[in-house]
Amino acid sequence: MSKVLVPLADGFEEIEAINIIDVLRRGGIEVIMASLGSKKEVKGAHGVNVLADVEIKSVDVSTLDMIVLPGGWEGTLALKDDENVQKILKTMDKDKKLIGAICAAPLALHSAGVLKHNYTCYPTIEKEIREDGFSDKEMVVEDANVMTSRGPATAICFGLQIVKKLAGKEKYQEVKSGLLATYCQ
């Protein structure tokens, strides 16, 4: 079974985090939700509190197949500035493991130096990263070991693309059908 880390910082975008976690778990993927600090309760950008499984500092990176960062501006800035998250991103990239980010979170990938040339993100965030390589045409952009997505409305499709990558096309089709996500490609 594949294992994915989803770090959660206060100010994370709830739709993105919860949709991704839910879709991955429906796909039979183990998801570890990690808080940045010792407090396991993490407050989303719209006041939804989520209880993380572990603290980020206790995560064994060698057991992970992927890390996925949800967006939300405050949450993204915290992920960008968190020493543990930045170290994990660099290690995952060095080991050619999968890295994902949605909405504003590609900024945290850029900060770690792991964002590849082609990417997508929430509109205007590309100005904080770089406009070269940015696309607003696709819901999900893949470049090498990095997957990026646009924002809340693309979270299910992003989760499904991760399922396809980690669990295969058959599981992807099964989960996609169950979600009635006919709009996802």
Beta strands in 112-161 (DSSP E): 140-143, 146-149
Pick from 170, 172, 171: nearest CA to 160: 172
* Distance in angstroms (rounded) separating the CA atoms of residues 174 and 135: 29
- pLDDT tens-digit profile of 32-58? 999 999 999 999 999 999 999 999 999
Q: What is the mean pLDDT of residues 111-130?
A: 97
Q: DSSP per residue over 42-75, as a string? A: EE-TTS-EEE-SEEGGG--GGG-SEEEE---HHH
Q: Is 103 a catalytic residue?
A: yes
- pLDDT tens-digit profile of 55-78? 999 999 999 999 999 999 999 999
Query: In 149-162, which positions are buried (b, 16+ CB within 10 angstroms) versus exposed (e)?
Result: bbbbebbbbbbbbb
Above 90 in pLDDT, residue 185?
no
Which residue in 103, 121, 157, 184 is the catalytic one?
103
* Distance in angstroms (rounded) separating the CA atoms of residues 102 and 120: 8
Q: Report the greatest alpha carbon distance in the chain.
A: 40
How far, in Å, are 16, 57, 71, 122, 170 from residue 149 at the CA level? 10, 26, 10, 8, 22
* Distance in angstroms (rounded) separating the CA atoms of residues 59 and 44: 21
* Distance in angstroms (rounded) separating the CA atoms of residues 106 and 23: 20
Both tokens of 36, joined, read 């940045």
Q: State the pTM of this model.
A: 0.97
Q: What is the mean pLDDT of residues 98-126?
A: 98
Pick from 45, 19, 13: nearest CA to 122: 13
Query: Taking the CA of residue 165 as centre, how many other CA atoms within 13 Å lie in the half-sphere pointing to its CB?
Result: 24
Residue whose entry in the numeric block shows the structure tokens 């295969």: 168
DSSP character for 153? G
Above 90 in pLDDT, residue 134?
yes
What does pLDDT average to over the chain?
97
Amino acid residing at 50: V
